[in-house]
Amino acid sequence: MLYHIFATTEMDNPMIVIMGQTEYTNAGNARDGALTEIHSLLTNDLLLPETRPIATIIYQTRDTYTNPVQARIISTDAGDDFID
């Protein structure tokens, strides 16, 4: 699952995070999918024109993870902490 971070011009909420809509089978597919999801968010009039993408984070989920959300942030297939 992807989470996209955007900068806004809002004084009280200068950063927002939008959850992606697709599940990916591996980090490489998630990295490729990030560009598609960001493009879709920017072109469907969901965001204000002043909103700019900053980064995308990949979350991996598993039933065996013991934290409350059963997820963790993982590196991209290129070893980066986020997708720029």
Query: pTM above the 0.85 mark?
Result: yes
pLDDT of residue 37: 94
**pLDDT tens track for 34-46:** 999 999 988 887 7
Q: Where does residue 24 fall: left (phi above 0), alpha (psi -120 to 50 degrees), or beta otherwise?
A: beta
pLDDT in tens, 1-59: 999 999 999 999 899 999 999 999 998 999 999 999 999 988 887 788 888 999 999 99
Tokens of 61: 């989920």
The pLDDT value given to residue 60: 92
Tokens 């934290």 belong to 67
